[in-house]
């Protein structure tokens, strides 16, 4: 699957929005196990794995290629990814390390700069997960760590 993504990247001369991760591989295993259980079989066989791979390609990969997964965790278009990076840079520029600011004021400030509130919230969430921001007072305030 990764090789297929790489080949497509080379053909289109741009990065694929499809991350093939351990999560996807685990999902294929779970689908295979579910298919075996539906047939009341105690073990997964090659037919189940083939069908799980087919389902994965048809659903996840096809949706990612068409852009339908844009906005879902891990799936962004190249344009959206660039916006997310610009938003993060703006937050870091306006919000020095060791300071605290209202989450709502960050969102309002960046919305005035024509960024969507959902994208701003997504960046804030990612920065919290990376340990760059720390929510305080039931997430009304954010403290910048890094």
Closest Cα partner for 18 from 36, 3, 28? Answer: 3
CATH top class, domain 78-144:
mainly alpha
- Whether the pLDDT of residue 18 is over 60: the answer is no
In the chain, where are the structural domains located? 2-66, 78-144
With a CB cutoff of 8 Å and minimum separation 6, the contacts of 139 are: 103
Inter-residue contact 106 to 120 (CB < 8 Å): yes
> Is the pLDDT confidence value at 4 over 60?
no
pLDDT in tens, 25-83: 898 999 999 999 999 999 999 999 999 988 887 777 666 555 544 445 455 567 777 88
């Amino acid at each position: 699957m990764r090789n297929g993504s790489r080949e497509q990247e080379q053909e289109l001369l741009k990065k694929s929005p499809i991350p093939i991760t351990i999560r996807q591989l685990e999902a294929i295993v779970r689908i295979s196990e579910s298919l075996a259980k539906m047939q009341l079989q105690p073990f997964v066989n090659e037919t189940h794995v083939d069908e799980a791979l087919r389902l994965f390609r048809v659903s996840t990969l096809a949706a990612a290629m068409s852009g339908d997964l844009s906005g879902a965790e891990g799936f962004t278009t190249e344009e959206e990814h660039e916006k997310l990076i610009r938003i993060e840079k703006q937050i870091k520029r306006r919000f020095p390390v060791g300071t605290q600011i209202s989450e709502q004021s960050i969102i309002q400030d960046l919305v005035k700069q024509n960024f969507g509130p959902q994208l701003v919230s997504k960046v804030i969430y990612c920065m919290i997960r990376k340990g760059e921001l720390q929510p305080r007072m039931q997430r009304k305030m954010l403290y910048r760590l890094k």
